[in-house]
Amino acid sequence: MELTDWLLTSGERGNVATRLDSRRPDGAAWSHGNLVRPLIDGATYYRELLSAVGAQRAGDLLLFSDWRGDPDERLVGPGSEIGTVLCEAAERGVIVKGLVWRSHLDRLQFSETENRHLGEEVEAAGGECLLDMRVRPGGSHHQKFVVLRHPGRPELDLAFVGGIDLCHNRHDDASHRGDPQSQPIAAAYGPHPPWHDVQLAIRGPAVGDIETCFRERWEDPAPLTRSPVVRLRELAHREDTEADPLPHQAPDPEPCGTCTVQVLRTYPNRLLRGYDFAPDGERSIARGYRKALRRARALIYLEDQYLWSPHVVEFFAEALAAHPGLRLIAVIPSVPEQDGRITLPMNLIGRITALDRLRRAAGGRVAVYGLENHEGTPVYVHAKVCVIDDVWASVGSDNINLRSWTHDSELSCAVVDESRDPRDPRDPGGLGDGARGYARNLRLELAREHLDREAPLTPHAPDPLCDPRSAFDAFAASAAALDSWHDGGRHGPRPPGRLRTYRPPSLPRATKALCTPLHRLLVDPDGRPHRLRRRRTF
């Protein structure tokens, strides 16, 4: 297998201004020799983050970027609030630098106050945390990552990348009873919404790539905001608006694993003046998906918060239509996060359209599921995961929608393991690529949680879920059994598994007519330059 069959070359990234690829002597658009571990659900990630930050000492470097940060969110228990953990690190001499999206106003159900308070706490302890509003109108910085560097101890260098914010609702585990520190979302999820999510722990040279992503944003000379109103608020709150210099970037950590990692990103085409490191924006997430999907032959496994936009799902539909043996499994929220009279249909309209397109392309080869916990409460799926043919796997902050692929800032890691998986089928795609250990194990770990199955006692024991068709059928059978139990009045023992068949609701014609333009304008805007919109490409 050639890596260029699956991963973007530096030219294919479409952004010559970034130093993400040019920083390597060979100009490669990826790094070899990484150890990548998926951390399933927020409690797992928070526990590892707390341990890793606690091991840092004076002179070490902690960089973080987030969409929302609640300083009182506990990583483990009392005393482990994220604000406290970051402040204690800064007070013992760790160089703490943060970039948090400024956010829209709280009265619009965003997090302006919380993000500002996190920044204030970090600054008071000697760190630096900037509220970054260098986005398109209506856009956000949606990247969620932490980089930990240790001069003189590079074996400890580590990066966390994925979909998990440092905020309320995210602290949940495989039981999915929700975060005790909760924010309200749609009523169906109850007072403590169960929350499913994924983050990666990465060691090896890719840590240097993720650090470079932070540095490019940190060193961008553009002001943090162009809004006169926001600048008045900055003055009123005496906010730090100037990024202090970062210490010189250390050499990349040495190889320590078998995974090739490609860092993919979205940056929008900003009006007037773009980013120094992406003057025309960057859409390597969209381009990375497009390239990998052209290679798909057996199974596309998705977990996604949204799964909408006909412009985006068209790539999936084309792959399904071209290859009659290709199947798609998608795990999504049963109910959108917002359930207002206008906001609910605004969210649903994009999903209904997208699923209709996928099913027209492949019919019964497309299976879509929601999740519930063992008490029957829906689980909000916030994960952003794609696994193709057990070879290519992406985890990041990006969702399957136009906003994530063009309009907000996003960060994702596409991983191809150099180590083949010895279990049958050894080459599910039939192209000679061979199943890879990381991608297959990620898919199986997620499937076992949703199916209530235990992992085999030995790592490479035969597992019927390795086979794409068997996995597709196992999901269908589990969901059918649980659906039937609910339909029958919940009599008798509850069947194992958490999967429910997703059936998109129908919307009245008048509601569609009203909400479709609102969806395109507010929910799923397009951040591409006009020339790319006209060509219907990324």
Tell which residue, 20, 4, 24, has the closest CA to residue 433. 4
- Report the alpha-carbon angle 172-175-180, nearest 5: 40
pTM of the entire predicted model: 0.96
Does position 111 have pLDDT exceeding 70, yes or no?
no
Residue 334: which of 402, 403, 381 has the closest Cα?
381
Amino acid at 57: R
Rounded-to-integer distance, Cα 198 and Cα 313, Å: 22
Residue 109, pLDDT > 60, answer no
What does DSSP say about strands 327-331 and 299-303: parallel, antiparallel, or unpaired? parallel
What distances in angstroms separate CA 521 from CA 265, 312, 368, 476, 517, one per listed residue? 22, 16, 26, 36, 6
Sorted by where each starts, the structural domains of the chain and their CATH numbers stand as 34-261 (3.30.870.10), 282-535 (3.30.870.10)
pLDDT for residue 284? 98
User: Using an 8 Å Cβ cutoff, are 380 and 193 in contact?
Assistant: yes
The CA angle 61-67-69, to the nearest 5 degrees, is 70
Place of tokens 């919404």: 193
DSSP state of 420: B
Other C-beta atoms closer than 10 Å to the C-beta of 411 total 24
Q: What is the mean pLDDT of the chain?
A: 94
DSSP states along 27-93: --SSEEEEEEEEEESHHHHHHHHHHHHHT--TT-EEEEEES-B-TT-BSSSTT-BHHHHHHHHHHTT
- Say how far apart CA 413 and CA 397 lie, in whole Å: 9
Q: How far apart (Å, rounded) are the C-alpha atoms in residues 151 and 62?
A: 12
CA distance 36 to 526: 32
Per-residue confidence (pLDDT) for residue 106, from 0 to 100: 47
User: Which DSSP symbol is given to 413?
Assistant: E
pLDDT tens for each residue of 116-142 = 788 889 999 999 999 999 999 999 999
Residue 330 sits at the vertex; the CA angle it makes with 329 and 333, to the nearest 5 degrees, is 155
pLDDT 10s digits, 333-373: 999 999 998 899 999 999 999 999 999 999 999 999 999 99
For residues 295-308, give the mean pLDDT.
97
Residue 413 to residue 34: CA distance in whole angstroms: 12
